Structure 1
Amino acid sequence: MNEQIPVKTVTPVKVHKPKGGPEGKRHDSRSRIYVRAVQGPLETFRRMFGLFFLGLFAIIPWIQYNGHQAVLLDIGEQRFTIFSLTLWPQDLTLLAYIFIVSAFALFFVTTFAGRVWCGFMCPQTTWVYIYTWFEEKFEGPRNKRIALDARKMDVDKFLRKTAKHTAWVLVALLTALTFVGYFTPIDALFIDFVTFNTSFWAGLSVIFFAVCTYGNAGYMREIMCTHICPYARFQSAMFDKDTFTVSYDAKRGEQRGPRPRKLSHEQVKEKGLGDCIDCNLCVQVCPTGIDIRNGLQYECINCGACVDACNGVMDKMGYPKGLISFTSEEELAGGKTHVLRPKLIGYFVVLVVMIGLLFANIWMRSPTEVDIIRDRNSLYRETNEGLIENVYTIKVLNKTQQTQSYTIAIKGLPDYKYIGEQKVTVKGGAVYSTPISVATDAYNLEDTVTDIFISVTTTIDGETVTVDEPTKFLYR
């Protein structure tokens, strides 16, 4: 009980904040962040990467396959069509596998390269950059936008703001129409929306998602990343010392401070200055308004904008690049990054296993689903011929996208009499329901409950597919 807890002395971290002007409130979550445009290889890659997936998002719902929309997630009909694959509520396990694969893919990528999902693929980030691009086109670069917002309303300001918000609204509407087009036929949706003939729920969904896009990308922006998105909160649990994150090399950069460009790198070192000239460009280009020089922060989305900004300054000053870079804590400490490590390998192995299980489930998925419902009015009845009769309702679900013919038979019941349709035709992606009666002599029944199978057989692409659905034949 008298043992003392050892106390470890920790060197406090000096937090640098921008001084004066609009920069002074940058760390206030309620203040407006004026993001400065940046050029560089990472920014070019991010734009091309984002445009590629943005193009996929816009084009996919317009693709036609075998006379129908290739990707249609019809919630009303409880049917998801993805090219030749049709998914029903019975295929819910596939959706679970998709979510599990996505989760482990996120864990793997985050452990390896930090929060790059947020910086390069997140829809919020992509749409914020689109809105910022329109903002720059109509209101000018960062310093002009600050001055424009500071002055009173006049004709020029009114026209610029109107043009910007008009562009934002159009982008929001196109985004919402495209998104809703994944859940309802998109060609009819566009026409019906323009002519005010959409259904109530389709129209409401378009307006709702348009408002969300306009608000999130136009006003919420970094607040979505820093205050609402849960990923920012638990991402650190997946980081380790070998995770690649955007980091500032404090050993090389400090002591920071301005200096004439004419001084050589060696002369700067002699004066006791580091490579950081304290230009604050890394802060001005950050979409979440943080100062990466204060160390790793949960608000950082690993977009690399500060890397391009800093490398541009280093080029102009004649200093080596990489003062801010994608690197690991281990490497900053002078060690070597261990790419192949147990944690990363574990995530990769689980990811591969789950992908394998997902494809195995798709491969082994039966193209026919059979559901049997017993008659609830009576367990059995005796016919005029003295036979014992059970009544069932058979539902045949055709999971393919082509019309199929099915043959119904009974297995496990000797010398039975079948009453009802034995051959049915079901359209692609449709459910066919038919009542049948099965009767047999009581002498053929050894027990009050007999296990039987209702067999449904069809031929798909030359291959015979049979589904045997178990049920009970009751007597007494």
Structure 2
Amino acid sequence: LLKWTIFAIISFIIANVFLAYIIGADALYDVIKEGPAENIGTLVGLVFFSAMFYFVFAWFREQACTLVCPYGRFQGVLIDSHTINVTYDFKRGEGTAGRAKFKKNEDRKAEGKGDCIDCGQCVVVCPTGIDIRNGIQLECVNCTACIDACDEVMEKVGLPTGLIRYASEDDIKRGEKFKFTKRLAAYTFALLLLIGAMTAFLFSRSDVESKYLKVPGTDYKVEGKYYVNQFEYTLYNKTNADQIVTVQLLSHKNSKVEMYEGENKLNMEKGQIIQGKFFLKIPMDEVKSYKEKVVIGLVNQKGKVIDKYETSFSAPFKY
């Protein structure tokens, strides 16, 4: 009863995390505060996913890896005899006389017995229930639990560790140790390149994402010495702090930004998306094209430009 209760609690927690990923942690917190009576649809979804995860815990278990997860299928297609994988050293483990139970004070090498003492611990700890000694199988998720279990047994019986280890099939057949090959170097370089690119994108990400588009169906207007366009904006605060921002035109010095409603000082709560419209006015003598390229910036309270967006500004065609 205790086990099934723990499974149910873990399933409920995972379902909440899954829901928070979909609707956002803040939205989930608001749902919890409002209570289930006010959010029947959300409650039904939560119960459904809790039941699904509980089903995996209670019965489906390793079949999730065997039948549902595509990793094994991909692995079967992509690996070959040179691929480094969790592998059983069958030459050392089987010897010439095969596996045999461990006996004290015996000379296993003289008798031709392999180092595998057939304890079965590698099978016991495997989350998908396979026997790695039968070779690489699609159910293997490379968790390395069999490596740890086997090494522990080898230490207890006084035999070298590494009977199950990371190695390629070719390395096992030739009896060679792990080598950092050109192929591995290429994969490592590609991986480091991807990590570097992701890190660069992460640190160059703006706190607030902004987008400005001309209001559909509108054209330029003339007000005194200014050409005027109507724009709509979408701002997304990606931080966990409230922001106060203003919209400014960075590409033209004497331009003006006038909001449809209120002043040009927008309050954004954490994680909030706001939309609105504004008039963009540029002096005629600063407009050089009927489709003028403009850069609109978002400026925070400290006067720092936190995001930029390039778009076009309509004006009369000049011959």
TM-score tier after normalising by the smaller chain length: 0.7 to 0.9
Matched, 1:256 2:98: yes
Q: Distance in 1 between matches of 2:93 and 2:288?
A: 89
Q: Is the 8 A contact 2:101 2:118 kept in 1?
A: no
Residue 392 of structure 1 deviates from its aligned partner by 0.5
Identify the residue that residue 264 of structure 2 maps to in structure 1. 423
From 59, 70, 86, the equivalent of 1:245 is: 86
For residues 206-245 of structure 1, the aligned pairs below 5 Å read 206-236=46-76, 237-238=78-79, 241=82, 243-245=84-86
Residue 232 of structure 1 deviates from its aligned partner by 1.2
For residues 372-451 of structure 1, the aligned pairs below 5 Å read 372-380=212-220, 390-395=228-233, 397=235, 399=237, 401-409=241-249, 420=259, 423-428=264-269, 429-436=272-279, 438=281, 449-451=290-292
Number of equivalenced pairs: 304
Q: Is the 8 A contact 1:176 1:210 kept in 2?
A: yes
- The alpha-carbon distance between structure 1 residues 210 and 198, as it changes in their structure 2 partners (threshold 3 A), is farther
Which letter does structure 1 place at the counterpart of 2:213? I
Q: Is the 8 A contact 1:419 1:436 kept in 2?
A: yes
Which letter does structure 1 place at the counterpart of 2:176? G
Which letter does structure 2 place at the counterpart of 1:352? L
From 131, 156, 174, the equivalent of 1:333 is: 174
- The alpha-carbon distance between structure 1 residues 290 and 392, as it changes in their structure 2 partners (threshold 3 A), is same
Which letter does structure 2 place at the counterpart of 1:458? V
Residue 323 of structure 1 deviates from its aligned partner by 7.1
Residue 322 of structure 1 deviates from its aligned partner by 3.3
For residues 296-375 of structure 1, the aligned pairs below 5 Å read 296-311=136-151, 314=154, 318-322=157-161, 324-328=163-167, 329=169, 330-331=171-172, 333-338=174-179, 340-375=180-215
Identity, in percent, stands at 23
Deviation digits for residues 8-27 of structure 1, max 9, x if unmatched? xxxxxxxxxxxxxxxxxxxx
Larger RCO (CA under 8 A, 6+ residues apart): 1
Q: Distance in 2 between matches of 1:467 and 1:346?
A: 37
Deviation digits for residues 84-111 of structure 1, max 9, x if unmatched? xxxxxxxxxxxxxxxxxxxxxxxxxxxx
Q: Is the 8 A contact 1:372 1:393 kept in 2?
A: yes
Q: Is the 8 A contact 2:122 2:131 kept in 1?
A: yes
TM-score (norm 1): 0.52
Unaligned runs of 5+ in 2: none
Identify the residue that residue 471 of structure 1 maps to in structure 2. 312
Residue 326 of structure 1 deviates from its aligned partner by 1.0
Tell me the secondary structure at the aligned position of residue 164 of structure 2.
Answer: strand
Q: Is the 8 A contact 2:11 2:50 kept in 1?
A: yes
Identify the residue that residue 73 of structure 1 maps to in structure 2. none
Q: Is the 8 A contact 1:451 1:473 kept in 2?
A: yes
Tell me the secondary structure at the aligned position of residue 36 of structure 2.
Answer: coil
Aligned residues: CA RMSD: 4.0
Q: Distance in 2 between matches of 1:271 and 1:351?
A: 46
Identify the residue that residue 118 of structure 1 maps to in structure 2. none
Q: Distance in 1 between matches of 2:116 and 2:293?
A: 80
- The alpha-carbon distance between structure 1 residues 369 and 199, as it changes in their structure 2 partners (threshold 3 A), is same
Deviation digits for residues 257-282 of structure 1, max 9, x if unmatched? 656835x322x555554344444444
Residue 224 of structure 1 deviates from its aligned partner by 1.6
From 150, 158, 178, the equivalent of 2:17 is: 178
Which letter does structure 1 place at the counterpart of 2:106? H
Residue 331 of structure 1 deviates from its aligned partner by 4.7
Tell me the secondary structure at the aligned position of residue 265 of structure 1.
Answer: coil
Q: Is the 8 A contact 1:281 1:310 kept in 2?
A: yes
Q: Distance in 2 between matches of 1:359 and 1:460?
A: 27
Q: Is the 8 A contact 1:426 1:432 kept in 2?
A: no
Q: Is the 8 A contact 2:210 2:308 kept in 1?
A: yes
Q: Is the 8 A contact 1:250 1:293 kept in 2?
A: no
Q: Is the 8 A contact 1:256 1:277 kept in 2?
A: no
- Which structure: greater helix fraction? 1
Deviation digits for residues 166-217 of structure 1, max 9, x if unmatched? 332222112212332342335445555xx53462453234223312321223
Q: Distance in 2 between matches of 1:356 and 1:238?
A: 26
